A and B are shown apart, each in its own frame.
Chain A
Amino acid sequence: MQLDTLLRVAKWEVTKNAGGVDKRTILVMALSLVAMGAVAAIAVSGGTGAGMDDGIYRIGVDESSPYYGVAADDSTFDIREPDPAAVERRQQELLYRGTQLRSVPRTAKERAALTELRDSTAQYNDRTLARDDNQTAAFPVSVTLVYEQQSGSSQLDPRSGDGSGGSDSSDGSGSSTGGSGDGSDTSGTGGSAASGGGDSGTAGGSGANLGAIGARLTGDVQGGTPSDISPPFPFESLVLAFLYIVPMNFVIQAYGSSMLSERLNRRGELLLVTPASRGDIIGGKTLPYLAGAVGVAALITAALRFGNIAPAGSYVAVLAVVPLVVLFLSATFCGAMFARSFKELTFVTVTITVTLTSYAFVPAIFTDVTPIALISPLTLVVLDLTGQSVGLSSFVFSTVPPLLTGLVLFGLGAGLYREEDMFTQRPIPLKVLDALAGGINSRRSALKMSIVLLPLVIVAELAAIAFLFVLDSVSLNVFGTNQSLGIVLVLGVIVIIEELAKSLHVYAGYEHARYERTLRSALGIGALSGLGFFIGEKGLLIARLSDLESLPIGEAALQGATLPAGLPLWVAGLLFMLPLALHTVTAAISSVGASRGRRAYVAALTVAIVIHFAYNFTVVSTLV
């Protein structure tokens, strides 16, 4: 790969293809964006902006009732003349005479309406009483909220109870993941009343001045009333997430179009016949978009910083966005290589957008709550913008897997960036196999491919943990004792991902006749693939950089990569070797299947998945 060739391709991409978007388009777009800004400004300032839930509940109430004012202040309610007959006809949800509710809420809608009215009334009272002269009587209670570490043993940490301190002492990175305010020492368990000012790790991050959206209960809370308490739900992370993710969708759309248009009418052939290497071409064509997306992220951060919305924003936020950008671009690149037409590309782009947005977005919701949040690099952005410090280990844990995944995807896509694949119309599944087979030369490639695919596996598994984590906590709550549902699901998903990663490239190798179709060779290749996966799996140790293990679901997912402490050496040795045996055996099974054609492969893969799941489930239920 040569830098100047790469730069020249990049320059062409900018001048030639950006020229494709002509001045008229740019003008229209600029105008639309201005219009959008104007609309937003009007909506924010004028308050004319109709809320999404305007008038969905109809309440029958007249002006003599105190609830008239309540309903009039809340646009969710549509005020009607009190009419019992209308209630019967289901045209009014609530009916008030004076302070008396005269209708009986039966349907789901009527109940929801009454609950909404209750909330509105509380807010209405707070608003009217704020104008009262006697403020002491109006707000007789003031609250100081103090967040404090409980020093005893945790109910949620399954290991610390039995004294195996070994696993907790891996490193001190855990302390940086909690919502530990802005550096004030929260671990002091003395907890005297006087510490209220400094200790209160503010709900939802203190650095961001996001107005009423964020927590109002900041450091000085002497005047706080009960309704000022906001639970640590980082609402602003949702807003910020959209700010950073939305421009990326535009970038990948342009990038995808540019890549696919190379494949139309053999246009890309011109570049392919030049002395520039494949890497130069792809790198050059990608560079402008990468730079553009990162530039936009930098601009957003700068705007937030100097617009005084998030004065704490720094280069960390921009750096944290880079892996996401790489991931988006690489997925689009693969999509553009796989897709056969613009129509397909549109669907692929939508899939990529939805999948990656949820990958970036869902874990970030939990920013203040758990280490789960660190699975997404977006969390680092939120942490940085809210002025919390980001530890190096957290940074590595959250950025390296997506970055590596992005690079692997680029590698796979590059396997298709050649004449045979670019200008032919092959179905997508075959192209996936082509991409995988591109990296296979000899038997030893099985080992290599298993390792190479590992970042994909890690990211997929982490995402699975993040998604099912919510399910876990929900099932834990809903079904009372049955807390294993989430864990079982996580195990299932992980087993499927791992077995696929171990065997799909083997299957691709057979389909492309890279391997001999004999039983001996199949077993050997399977064993190599399993070994490669086992070596790579130790990479999962990266998870120890975070506190993920402290959650039962993380523990279940990562077993095999980490060892329980306090076991005799031979048991530990056995536990270390068992996963190797498992991976080798299951990979060999599916490899034998793969050598006998497609149906046999699917059957063998199912067997391998069942065995793997049984093993994992046994280990989890006996050891944890």
Chain B
Amino acid sequence: MARRDIRSLSREKTIVLALLIQLFVAGFSSFLVVGLTSLYDPSSVAAGEVEMAVTGDAREELEAAAAEQDGTSVTAFESEAAAQRAFNQRQVDAILRGEYVPSTRGPGEQIQVTAVVPEGSIRSTLIVVEVRRVLSALERQERLERTPYLEQPPVPLPDTVSASQYFGFTYTILIPLLLFLPPFISGSVAVDTVTEEIERGTMELLRVAPVSLLDIIDGKALGMVLLAPAQAMLWLALLSTNGIAVSNPAAILLFITAVTVVVVTLGVVLGITLQNRRPAQLLFSVLTLVLFGGAVLLPEHPATTVAKLAVDSPTLLTYGHVGGAVLLAVTGYTVARVYIGRVAAEAL
């Protein structure tokens, strides 16, 4: 029965379509990786130097702070008007005007910096980021000089190393997203196959065949369950060809399979109970969302479980979640079988 369902699926080319969609999602996600992260932290894209004009009586301090930064070069201007002219002629990208003023926060003096950045330019995001870097460096310098006045000295910053900005994003968002999509689609299709047989009245035909209803349901569910880990495996292979190493693939696949079983069981039960595609699908989407959101209450969210396995930082808790998911899948499906066996015979 499972073979029949899978075969009919592949014949309908819908699998091809599904894979295409996934490829599209992959393209979309990698676009998100590059696009969003570079927007979120434009400094990750080496975009040439940002030229800044510094004026005011704290300009030496500003120059010293900017000297630490790679992406920035500064020019000191004696007069504000000259700096403004350079800004208007686009010779500099930003003006930093530093003045010593009496502090608004207590005794002593502080540096009041007015940063002028261009508005509505594509580069303005990048420029603001660079301005922030320079000013943060200035703040660190000044704090260091004033350490004697502080109760507790600031913790020194670790050195900078060149690291991928996308590392955390890839493992905590992208990989869980890619791996949880197949179970969801499988569950949704499970709802479809069950309700469609009922709505079209073809369930009758199937029942004439020498198989029990439970066999039919088993077959349909198995087909859907096998699909998701296969897709997940495809993803892992694709990712590793892209140079993203995913650790513990076996544990991840086991976890995804267990999640798929849970989701597909939910779909099948909803399909059998409601017998109508629309309410069943609607309820399925809502319930899956609730389940996924409700998983926040677990000590570790399933997405984090996948992330920790993939990045190779699993703890005992992580393996506990994998075990728990398998347990839930097995018990869930057993209970569902009992339920279906009881309900289906008279209702369908």
Task: Report yes or no: A231 in contact with B129, Cβ–Cβ below 8 A.
Answer: yes
Q: Binary interface profile of B, 116-149, with partner A (CB < 8 Å = 1, else 0)?
A: 1111111011101101100110110011001101
B69: interface (CB < 8 Å): no
Which residues of chain B in 311-334 are interfacial with respect to chain A, using CB atoms and an 8 Å cutoff?
311-313, 315
A602: interface (CB < 8 Å): no
CA distance A184 to B290 in the complex (A): 44
Please tell me which stretch of B161-169, B206-214, B234-242, B340-348 contacts chain A, meaning at least 4 of its Cβ atoms lie within 8 angstroms of it: B161-169
Task: Report yes or no: B87 in contact with A33, Cβ–Cβ below 8 A.
Answer: no
Task: Report yes or no: B40 in contact with A233, Cβ–Cβ below 8 A.
Answer: yes
Q: Binary interface profile of A, 44-65, with partner B (CB < 8 Å = 1, else 0)?
A: 0000111111111110000000
CA distance A446 to B164 in the complex (A): 53
Task: Report yes or no: A189 in contact with B279, Cβ–Cβ below 8 A.
Answer: no
| Set of chain B residues within 8 Å of A138, measured between Cβ atoms | 143, 150
A519: interface (CB < 8 Å): no
Task: Report yes or no: A148 in contact with B118, Cβ–Cβ below 8 A.
Answer: yes
B315: contacting residue among A55, A111, A346, A354, CB under 8 A: A55
| Set of chain B residues within 8 Å of A229, measured between Cβ atoms | 115, 128, 131-132, 135
Q: Mark B residues whose CB is within 8 Å of A.
A: 9, 12, 14, 17-18, 21, 24-25, 28, 31, 34-36, 38-40, 42, 45-48, 80, 84, 87-90, 97, 103-122, 124-126, 128-129, 131-132, 135-136, 138-139, 142-143, 146-147, 149-152, 154-164, 167-168, 171-173, 176, 185, 188-189, 192-193, 195-196, 199-201, 274, 276-279, 281-283, 285-287, 289-290, 293-294, 296-301, 303-304, 307-308, 311-313, 315
Task: Report yes or no: A478 in contact with B90, Cβ–Cβ below 8 A.
Answer: no
The CB with the most chain A CB atoms within 10 A, among B107, B121, B173, is that of: B121
Please tell me which stretch of A112-120, A378-386, A495-503, A568-576 contacts chain B, meaning at least 4 of its Cβ atoms lie within 8 angstroms of it: A112-120
Task: Report yes or no: B12 in contact with A344, Cβ–Cβ below 8 A.
Answer: yes
Q: Binary interface profile of A, 129-158, with partner B (CB < 8 Å = 1, else 0)?
A: 100111111111111111111111111100
A125: interface (CB < 8 Å): yes
Tell me what chain B mostly uses at the interface: helix, strand, loop, or mixed.
helix
Task: Report yes or no: A136 in contact with B108, Cβ–Cβ below 8 A.
Answer: yes
Task: Report yes or no: A354 in contact with B24, Cβ–Cβ below 8 A.
Answer: yes
Nearest Cβ on chain B to A108's Cβ, whole angstroms:
6
Nearest Cβ on chain A to B173's Cβ, whole angstroms:
7
A358: interface (CB < 8 Å): yes
Task: Report yes or no: B164 in contact with A226, Cβ–Cβ below 8 A.
Answer: no
Task: Report yes or no: A39 in contact with B139, Cβ–Cβ below 8 A.
Answer: no
Which residues of chain A in 97-119 are interfacial with respect to chain B, using CB atoms and an 8 Å cutoff?
99, 101, 105, 108-109, 111-112, 114-118
| Set of chain B residues within 8 Å of A441, measured between Cβ atoms | none
| With A112-B167, A467-B31: A257-B281 Cβ-Cβ less than 8 Å | yes
Q: Binary interface profile of A, 76-111, with partner B (CB < 8 Å = 1, else 0)?
A: 101000000000001000000001010001001101
CA distance A122 to B161 in the complex (A): 16
A142: contacting residue among B18, B97, B112, CB under 8 A: B112
A613: interface (CB < 8 Å): no
Task: Report yes or no: A264 in contact with B117, Cβ–Cβ below 8 A.
Answer: no
Task: Report yes or no: A132 in contact with B151, Cβ–Cβ below 8 A.
Answer: yes
Closest 3 CB pairs of A and B: A178-B120, A226-B135, A111-B163
CA distance A280 to B172 in the complex (A): 49
| With A147-B124, A467-B31: A136-B105 Cβ-Cβ less than 8 Å | yes
| Set of chain A residues within 8 Å of B35, measured between Cβ atoms | 362, 365, 470, 474
B88: contacting residue among A101, A152, A340, A350, CB under 8 A: A152
| With A189-B88, A343-B12: A156-B121 Cβ-Cβ less than 8 Å | yes
| With A52-B173, A143-B115, A148-B119: A477-B48 Cβ-Cβ less than 8 Å | yes
The CB with the most chain B CB atoms within 10 A, among A78, A117, A142, A258, is that of: A142
| Set of chain A residues within 8 Å of B88, measured between Cβ atoms | 150-152, 189
B293: contacting residue among A36, A134, A193, CB under 8 A: A36
| Set of chain A residues within 8 Å of B36, measured between Cβ atoms | 365
Task: Report yes or no: A29 in contact with B283, Cβ–Cβ below 8 A.
Answer: yes
Task: Report yes or no: A136 in contact with B109, Cβ–Cβ below 8 A.
Answer: yes
B304: contacting residue among A50, A112, A142, CB under 8 A: A50
Task: Report yes or no: A146 in contact with B115, Cβ–Cβ below 8 A.
Answer: yes
| Set of chain A residues within 8 Å of B158, measured between Cβ atoms | 101, 114, 117-118, 121
Q: Binary interface profile of A, 173-194, with partner B (CB < 8 Å = 1, else 0)?
A: 0000111100000100101010
Residue of B nearest to A36 (CB): B290
Residue of A nearest to B184 (CB): A350
Task: Report yes or no: B18 in contact with A149, Cβ–Cβ below 8 A.
Answer: no
Nearest Cβ on chain A to B95's Cβ, whole angstroms:
8
Task: Report yes or no: B117 in contact with A146, Cβ–Cβ below 8 A.
Answer: yes
